[in-house]
Amino acid sequence: MIDAFRRNLDSGHASLIGYLTAGDPRPEYTVRYSEALIRGGVDVLELGAPFSDPVADGITIQASTQRALEAGVTLREVLKIASEIRNKYGTPIVLLSYLNPIYRMGFNMFFKEASSRGVDGVVVPDLPVEEAAEFRVAAQEASVATVFLASPTTSDRRLDTILKASSGFVYLVSLLGVTGVRSELSAEALRLIDRVRARRERPYIAVGFGVSSPEHVSMLAKKGAEGVIVGSAIVKIVQENLSDPERCEARLEEFTRKLKEATRFKD
């Protein structure tokens, strides 16, 4: 995953991270839709493990989570899907899961299986960095990157803690609230990028939540984000094409290609 960031930066691009809820609307579609994103230019794939109480997510991803749960998708099933995608395409994979399913599996068992399945990094939106010591040790022993979130209201002291704990990239939340399609980026998001870039020691920056268009991607890349995460706008395409997977694939590839073109920050 880190190599993908480096290659893109060397070529004058931010890395494009595309999100799908694994198993939405059924497990067999996730590999197909992931392939469409990869053809369109996604550099890192983020797979969301469905959970019954996705507190950080807006209505679009909440609905996709419900569809995946109704299809019987579990965390172990998501890991199997990740393995199939990684073995087939080699694209780096970040897994997003809420804490409860990971805790129930056990940190050591989860990270051992995640590593064997080719997962590069893990994001847990409801795990505070201050309570993540055991989680971080298990991740480090399995050579899986940890990705923590910082928001515009994060204090400088806590931001430094988050940056030290993030071994893959730091996930900058671009707004106050939940995920979802937005028409504009907040000024707070741009200031947050400046705050992180001012730190001498830091991981790569990736910005998500509300990033919905090529214009958003271009603005963030030129501002200094080394990665840009697009989730709800991609999941919305899946939602709009539940009965037509072929059309969904075509639209996902087309939209992702436009996003990728917008990641260039220098000629």
Task: Give the residue numbers annotated as catalytic, written as ranges.
Answer: 46, 57
How far is CA 147 from each of CA 31, 91, 144, 244, rounded to the nearest angstrom? 23, 18, 10, 34
How far is CA 37 from each of CA 24, 47, 123, 258, rounded to the nearest angstrom? 15, 12, 20, 11
Please tell me whether the peptide bond between 92 and the residue prior to it is cis, using omega within 30 degrees of 0: no
With 0-12 / 13-18 / 19 or more C-beta atoms within 10 angstroms meaning exposed / middle / buried, residue 206 is buried
For the beta carbon of residue 215, count every other beta carbon within 10 angstroms: 12
DSSP state of 140: H
